[in-house]
Amino acid sequence: MNALLENLNDPQREAVTHGEGPLLVLAGAGSGKTRVLTYRIAHLLATGSANGTEITAVTFTNKAALEMRERVESLLGRPLRGGFVGTFHRWSLEVLRRYPQAAGLSPRFAIADGDDQRALVTKALKELGLDPREHPPRAMLSRISGLVNRGTSLENFSQGATGPSQETLAEVWERYEKLKAAAAVVDFDDMLVRALAAVRKDAAIRKTVARRAHYLLVDEFQDTNALQMGLLSEVLDSSGNLTAVGDEDQSIYRWRGAELDNILDFERFFPGTTVVKLEENYRSTAPILAAAGSLISANLGRRGKKLFTSRSGGESVRLFIANDERGEARWVADGIEGLHGDHPLAEMAVLMRTNAQTRPFEEELTRRRIPYRVVGGLRFWQRAEIKDALAYLRLAVLGDDLLSFERVVNVPARGIGAATVDVLRRASSETGLSLPAAARRLPKDLSPRARLSLEKFFKLFSDAAAQRAELDPGDFVGWLLEASGLFAMYEGDAEDRVARRENLQQLAAAVAEATTRGQDLEDFLDSVALLEENDDQGAPEGVALMTLHSAKGLEFDAVFLAGLEDGLLPHANSRDDLEALEEERRLAYVGMTRARRTLALTCARSRFLFGQRQPTRLSRFLDELPRDEMEDVSMPVSGPAGGRSEYSPSSERGPSGSRRRPAAAPSSRSHGRKIAATVQDGDGTGWRPGDRVRHRRFGSGVILACRGTGAQLKLVVYFDRAGRKTLVPTIAKLEKI
């Protein structure tokens, strides 16, 4: 074991050899957190400090758990017997299988997987007379899961539900719970809820589980939610031997219920904690770490770490400001081609805030025949909402397209079900007409409701003909998306719905762009069809296109972080909430620290939005980067995009005031000028996130978030001395400073 300890740096060794009591390991990106966890387990077993039955190690993915077990067994040179290494859900399931009655379950309960859950929610919706197309089961499940993981019960939510959306969700949730009970199944969230209930209810169960978790180790602690924290606290025995490994700077799952305070306030939850910081990075070059560190240092909600590397050298981080999104995609593709001689395509990634941003990159890579893969999602033209929109567009432009008609005749739901389609098929067979043409004749066997729905459906396309004659193609597509009801299908703040609306907006942008290249709508539809036909990408060896959330835990030789503009990164949803803004900064930090050798940041001075070219506002995060670690390789302010950024003229100049000269995309011969400051913020009135305030008791602080309005307004304030407080400004008598 001494030989193993020699492979660790001093902080890693301190964590691995820690004795009794709670231990918090703050492990920066690329600092060897998995090594610390696995070596600590091996050290406990090899030294006789613990036997296998006393060790429980939990993490968030099956892949991570398998890797952890394999590494421990490799270090020990033997199988790990008796100890538990797995996910929170697997750990909870073991409790439920052993003590089903205490959890209120049948001994023969089954587990509902994702498909099962969606099927049950769909059934719940139909029993309530609600259309699954208007209330997508996936989105409903996401909302329910978010509430459960924040510790909200169905009873409490139902009692406090306000407005039609919440009332509907409460009804669906209640019916969903009844259907699960009738089927004797539990979903993934139930595992945590019921396991926690069992250990709280029965002291003997709690004692048994605690004995098997005498040494309790938790990976990715920053991602724990209220339920998981509750379970950990309940089963931790009097020894308090909890080893938590995490990085508050990589906490990016607040929307899923992750509680950042679990790691920020760890010592309050577990008194007597030993804190070890892992700050030596073994992944990235010094310039990458300097840029990422400078960015994340702007966050208030952090423990404070400064990553460093013992390796010297490394190329500067590059910033490229394109005239538009197509120029951004071209420059990135140039960079990929320039780096391909030294790096495999699979070791390069284009990271972005949302899936909607993939389209111009997919098109450019396809055009150049550069293999790529979209990680964690479908390629743009394969997404259901895009296929629906294209079907509407084909019907409006090309006429009675059979496949398009069948796809969208009841999307959004308009009461044209399978029985109605059967009537139309019989009419088509009898008349020899195509199905859409037969439908236009409104066969006599149709129900009155179906007849009315079809009349409205076909009227949409007669209206479309008039609108097409009056509107530009991009505006026409925007009109069609609204008139068809596709936009309305995805109203609401649920993440899935927001993403689908953004994808539809990207489609309108694609049409508007095509118009600038001289394409009409027929040409556009043909080009899309050819894209789909020739889209044989997706090979594992291709360039990775993915969102920042999907990139968590991965690393690449070269990373292109795209779309650094206010509204994209940080996302528009974070504008009025400083806590959300800090999570956006953490997302950017995660993206930057995925890079081993090459990091390039890109943005555009303008983008097509809502069918029109709009000037952008460059990301405020750019002003938080160190000038001496950056190279500006931007295009001059000119080109087909027209217009300028909303930033001051200084943002378009280098540090000396001279115009920046264009430079090549990343390669071994690429050099550019150092980056200058770019970001300015607007003024506002009233209480705003970011305002400095003073309280007579708590002292000075900064507003993190404003919640509610009028007399219900509450401010979340981070005070320099007192920490985070939620206050009513009129009662607290806050003053701005």
**What angle is formed at CA 255 by the lines to CA 385 and CA 294, rounded to 5 degrees?**
110
| Dist. CA 125–CA 128, nearest whole Å | 5
d(CA 633, CA 646): 20
Give me the catalytic one of 54, 220, 362, 632.
Answer: 220
33 catalytic? Reply is yes
**Quick one: how far is CA 718 from the chain centroid?**
26
Burial 675-702 (b: 16+ CB within 10 A, else e): bbebbeeeeeeebebebebebeebeebb
Encoding tokens for residue 17? Answer: 């050899």
Side chain identity, residue 730: T
Per the residue annotation, which of 250, 598, 616, 678 is the catalytic one?
A: 250
- How many Å apart are CA 38 and CA 177, to the nearest integer? 39
Q: At 664, give phi and psi (nearest 5°).
A: -70, 160
Identified catalytic residue from 34, 168, 467, 614: 34
What is the C-alpha to C-alpha distance for residues 568 and 324, in angstroms, rounded to an integer?
14
Nearest to 369 by CA among 345, 341, 404, 402: 345
CB contact at 8 A, 605 and 615: yes
CA angle 403, 611, 527 (to 5 degrees): 45
Alpha-carbon distance 142 to 253, whole Å? Answer: 13
The one catalytic residue in 187, 189, 219, 364 is: 219
- Provide the β-strand partners of residue 320: 602
**What's the length of the chain?**
737
CB 367 within 8 A of CB 534: no
Active site residue 444: no
CA distance linking residue 54 with residue 208, whole number of Å: 11
Tokens found for residue 405: 């008609």
**Which helix (H) or strand (E) covers residue 364, if one does?**
helix 358-367
Instruction: Report CA Rg, the chain.
Output: 28
Q: How far is Cα 34 from Cα 66, in angstroms, rounded to an integer?
A: 12
HEC assignment per residue over 485-524: CHHHHCCCCCHHHHHHHHHHHHHHHHHHHHHHCCCCHHHH
Active-site choice (12, 13, 33, 401): 33
Is the alpha carbon torsion for 590, 595, 596, 602 positive or negative? negative
| 224 counts as catalytic | no
8 Å CB contact between 625 and 585: no
Active site residue 594: yes
Asked if the bond preceding 636 is cis, omega within 30° of 0, the reply is no
- What 3-state DSSP class applies to 729? helix
Give catalytic status of residue 250 as yes or no: yes
Determine the Cα–Cα distance for residues 461 and 420; give it in Å rounded to an integer: 20
| CB-CB contact of 276 with 40 (8 Å) | no
- The 8-class DSSP code of residue 547 comes to E
**Nearest 10 degrees: Cα torsion 635, 640, 643, 649:** 20
158: tokens are 């139902």
- Is 583 among the residues known to form the active site? no
Whether 224 contacts 218, CB under 8 Å: yes
Q: Indicate the helix (H) or strand (E) that contains 23.
A: strand 23-27
C-beta separation of 460 from 483 below 8 A: yes
Q: Is the dihedral of CA 339, 340, 341, 344 positive or negative?
A: positive
Residue 676 tokens, joined = 């200058």
Amino acid at 351: L
d(C-alpha 244, C-alpha 261), whole Å: 14
Q: Is the dihedral of CA 444, 448, 453, 459 positive or negative?
A: positive
What is the DSSP annotation of 557-598?
A: EEEEE---BTBBTTBGGGTTBHHHHHHHHHHHHHHHTTEEEE
Cα gap 468→463, rounded to integer Å: 9
Active-site option among 359, 497, 501, 594: 594
Q: Hey, which residues are catalytic here?
A: 33-34, 219-220, 250, 594
